[in-house]
Structure 1
Amino acid sequence: MLLRRLSQHVKSQNWFAVALDFVIVVLGVFIGLQISNWNDARAFDQLERNYLVQLKDEVALNRRVTEYQIVYVDTVVESGKRALVYLESDQQCEDDCADLLVDFFHASQVWGAPRTLTIFEEMERLGLPRDAERRQTLLDLYRFLEGWDVVNLSPPAYRESARGYFSPEVSEALWRNCMRYPDGDVEELVRDCVDDLRAMDTSAVLEDMRASPDLANHLRFWIGQNVTAQVLLPDALGYSDSAQAAIDEALAQ
């Protein structure tokens, strides 16, 4: 309709009408583009908000995993220290042999936690969040989480050495009742196997372990690795809290 009218105005050489029609066409295209851009921006705003809602849950889950890891490495370190005292002494274990053997077992554990990075990685691919300061706060947390398990990519030598002294019966008791998976994901170190171990000759196992020329050195190294975790892991809690605050601030807008 508009193009037909424009053609008629050209034929009649009504240049004012031609100019007016041209302005109307350009203005219509401009308004159409603006509406399209506004709709796209609004849709992208909603997309970012939806991702932030999901990311809030992901950050909370990773924080819970970090809290678990802190308890876990504390158990590994304290167990390792008690085991090392025995290895460096010439005293018999006497009536605490079963408890001490559990220490050797717990000290050999390698933390492994199912951290989730999926939502953040997808947001990063999309360039979200768009706020630079908020994005940096999230990067601080996820860069820490991504690099953390490099400390334990390979099981320590102590793990293989110590467990080589466990008989099948001892191993069964240790694995059955001295660790558990309360929610199917995280692993907890407990001592419910002690009574089963007391029915076995654990003192002989411990004496054989103390006679090893390398076990104490392997244990010292592994304790040191876990002490690193004790020192650094609490930083992740601070990063997590900052990330949660940044997300809450964005969602409140």
Structure 2
Amino acid sequence: MIFKRLYADLRAQNWLAIAIELAIVIVGVFIGVQVANWNEARIEKAATERMLDQLVPELGAQLEFFDSAEVYFATTRRFADQALAAWQGDPAVSDERFVIAAYQATQIYGIGLNSENWTLTFGGEQLRNIEDPQIRRNLEVVLTQDYSVVEIDAVATPYREQVRRLIPIRLQDQIRRACGDRELRKAGTIIYQLPPQCSVRLDPKEAHATAAALRARRDLPGELNWHLAAVAVYVENALPLEDTIRALYRDLKGRSR
């Protein structure tokens, strides 16, 4: 209808009416574009909010990992101390206890983060849609963190390989069955723990022969020291990441209430 009036005004050379009609058209187009942009922004923001909601259980699972990893490595440390005491000639550590402790000290636990999926989900546009600056900053840290320092390779040291080469596989199988990783489900998350004590009974002759082979390797105490240092660095590197994830988790949980 407006274009018919515009055509008629052009024929009548009614310039004022033409200007008014054009202004109405331009304003209408501008408002239409603004409404479309606003609606698109609203949709994108709602999508970001849903992604943040979906991130909460993922972050909770990672916090469960950090808590369980701390307990796990505290257990392996106690076995490592017992093995070191045996290498130093402590008569209170029997051959059987020595073999078990040397093996249990090799047990490691790796982080379960999948930051690549998070990075793909939260690109630059999604981050800009997050209004809370603290949530945005903590999420940026989580997305850009170097996770190689808390992956399982960081604690897969030569001690682990050399001891497992030395202990007969039959004994390893016995120890694993009785005292290996225990899978637990906590708040829907699978975590792993080691029994704090290992009461498996090994064949005395095999235990004695294996303990003698371990004692003969004078390099292994040094390798175990290196392994313990790697675990300590692993735990230390995990702390700032855990703190950031915990802060992000707390803020997201508070936001969803």
TM-score by length of 1: 0.86
1:155 matched to 2:160? The reply is: no
Gaps in structure 1 of 5+ consecutive residues:
none
* Superposed CA offset, 1:86-112 (max 9, x none): 112263734xx4333221111112322
Moved more, 164-173 or 21-30: 164-173
SS for the counterpart of 1:114 is coil
Amino acid at match of 2:5: R
Count of residue pairs the alignment pairs up: 250
Taking structure 1 as reference, are residues 200 and 173 closer, same or farther at Cα in structure 2, changes over 3 Å only?
farther
Q: CA deviation at 1:42?
A: 0.7
Q: Distance in 1 between matches of 2:144 and 2:84?
A: 34
Paired position in structure 2 for 1:164 = 165
Amino acid at match of 2:98: L
Q: CA deviation at 1:9?
A: 0.7
Paired position in structure 2 for 1:28 = 28
Moved more, 122-131 or 58-67: 122-131
Query: Retained in 2: the 8 A contact 1:77–1:227?
Result: no
* Superposed CA offset, 1:66-98 (max 9, x none): 11111122122221121111112263734xx43
Query: Retained in 2: the 8 A contact 1:105–1:162?
Result: yes
Q: CA deviation at 1:192?
A: 7.5
Q: CA deviation at 1:41?
A: 1.2
Moved more, 36-45 or 166-175: 166-175
SS for the counterpart of 1:89 is coil
Query: Retained in 2: the 8 A contact 1:128–1:135?
Result: no
Paired position in structure 1 for 2:66 = 66
Paired position in structure 2 for 1:244 = 249
Paired position in structure 1 for 2:5 = 5
Q: CA deviation at 1:251?
A: 4.0
Q: Distance in 2 between matches of 1:80 and 1:142?
A: 35
Q: Distance in 2 between matches of 1:68 and 1:101?
A: 25
Paired position in structure 1 for 2:208 = 203
Taking structure 1 as reference, are residues 34 and 134 closer, same or farther at Cα in structure 2, changes over 3 Å only?
same
Query: Retained in 1: the 8 A contact 2:103–2:172?
Result: no
Q: Distance in 2 between matches of 1:53 and 1:62?
A: 15
Paired position in structure 2 for 1:17 = 17
Q: Distance in 2 between matches of 1:146 and 1:232?
A: 9
Q: Residues 87-166 of structure 1 correspond to what in structure 2 (within 5 A)? A: 87-89=87-89, 91=91, 93-94=93-94, 97-118=95-116, 120-130=118-128, 131=131, 132-144=133-145, 146-149=147-150, 152-153=153-154, 155-166=156-167
Query: Retained in 2: the 8 A contact 1:69–1:111?
Result: yes
Of all paired residues, the percent bearing the same amino acid is 21
TM-score by length of 2: 0.85
* Superposed CA offset, 1:217-244 (max 9, x none): 1111001111223444344432222112
Q: Distance in 1 between matches of 2:62 and 2:179?
A: 25
Amino acid at match of 2:209: A
Q: CA deviation at 1:212?
A: 0.8
Q: CA deviation at 1:34?
A: 1.4
